[in-house]
Amino acid sequence: MKDKPRFASAHSSEQYELVRATCLYVATVLGDLTDEFVVVGGLVPSLLIDQSSFTGNTTAHVGTMDLDLGFELAILREERYREITARLRGAGFAPDRTEEGSIIRQRWRAMAGSSLVSIDFLIPPSSPGDRGGRLRNIEKDFAAIITPGLDLAFIDKRRVSLSGMTIRDERATREIWVCGPGAFVVLKALAFLGRGENKDAYDLYYLIRNFGSGIEELAACLRPLMDSDFTKQALKVLHNDFCSHDATGPRRVADFLQGEHDDVIQADVVGFISALLDLC
């Protein structure tokens, strides 16, 4: 997968709007197949949290560089992926390629004016031996990244209405399934454990700090997922990596936002995540 930018300054509102327009375009193309996938990854916070209602020190989410779509294992058993890939091909998407020309089956791209937009595909493990980050080959030129805990995003998901312009300059409104806040916390904590990226730490902190009416509402979304081993592992990650001032989580949130350590930001990270753990 592409490396995420290490700093907030590398993200732009234009790139965020392009990813959002890509999501809306895909929703218009897949239409009656939207129940087959859920939006995950860095676009989720801006879809779950109203970006127009902030006051005081709270700022809008920085956005994301690409669109992540998670699929259920059922698309393999029932071969529904054939219709999904056929529609995406017809809409101008094709597998991405490396600079050397090698195919990247788990990421498809399309042109949006003079810009390239991309979709990364994810799927839950299907057997105990499946390791996160490896590929599940589905078609000759279509694969998905095995993502532990992704099944929780189909348990905790929310229907979100998306309106605006697509990458084809069409005005549209569609409803899409978005990973719910509880599952998002689990997936981002596991992602941070696996790769330790600044952006994952920031996404996690941002949602915990800003979702809904407060920490209690987020904790209520996590509780139905507590029987999952992935949830238990994620909560350990939060405890080990985010609950002390100089731990990797708070330091990397500060690094993402400021380019260096920041005592105020780090204390805020510790405070919000410790409060969530206390409620869980």
Q: Is the pLDDT of residue 211 over 90?
A: yes
What distance in Å separates the CA atoms of residue 236 and residue 109, rounded to the nearest whole number? 36
Q: Are 173 and 150 in contact (CB under 8 A)?
A: no
Residue with tokens 């696996």: 194
Hey, is 46 helix, strand or coil? helix
Q: Report the mean per-residue pLDDT for the chain.
A: 94
Q: What is the pTM of this model?
A: 0.94
Ordered by start, the domain boundaries in the chain are: 8-179, 181-279
| Side-chain half-sphere exposure of 89, counting CA atoms within 13 A | 9
Of 156, 145, 174, 163, whose CA–CA distance to 234 is shortest?
156
Of 119, 127, 171, 125, whose CA–CA distance to 148 is shortest?
125
Instruction: Give the rounded percent of residues in the chain with a pLDDT score beyond 70.
Output: 97
What residues have CB less than 8 Å from 211, skipping those under 6 apart?
48, 49, 181, 217, 218
Q: Are 162 and 202 in contact (CB under 8 A)?
A: no
Q: Is the pLDDT of residue 181 over 90?
A: yes
pLDDT of residue 52: 80
For the segment 3-14, the average pLDDT, to the nearest whole number, is 84
Hey, is 268 helix, strand or coil? helix
Of 238, 132, 259, whose CA–CA distance to 184 is shortest?
238
For the segment 186-202, the average pLDDT, to the nearest whole number, is 97
Q: Is the pLDDT of residue 2 over 60?
A: no
Is pLDDT larger for residue 171 or for residue 65? 171
Q: What is the sign of the dihedral through the CA atoms of 199, 204, 209 and 213?
A: positive
User: Per residue in 227-279, pLDDT tens?
Assistant: 999 999 999 999 999 999 999 999 999 999 999 999 999 999 999 999 999 99
In the chain, what's the furthest Cα-to-Cα distance?
Answer: 52
Q: How confident is the model at residue 1 (pLDDT cuts 50, 70, 90)?
A: very low
- For residue 126 the two structure tokens come to 């299907």
Q: Is the pLDDT of residue 132 over 60?
A: yes
What's the chain's length in residues?
280
Q: Is the pLDDT of residue 40 over 80?
A: yes
pLDDT of residue 4: 65
For the segment 149-163, the average pLDDT, to the nearest whole number, is 97
For the segment 51-75, the average pLDDT, to the nearest whole number, is 86
Hey, is 123 helix, strand or coil? strand
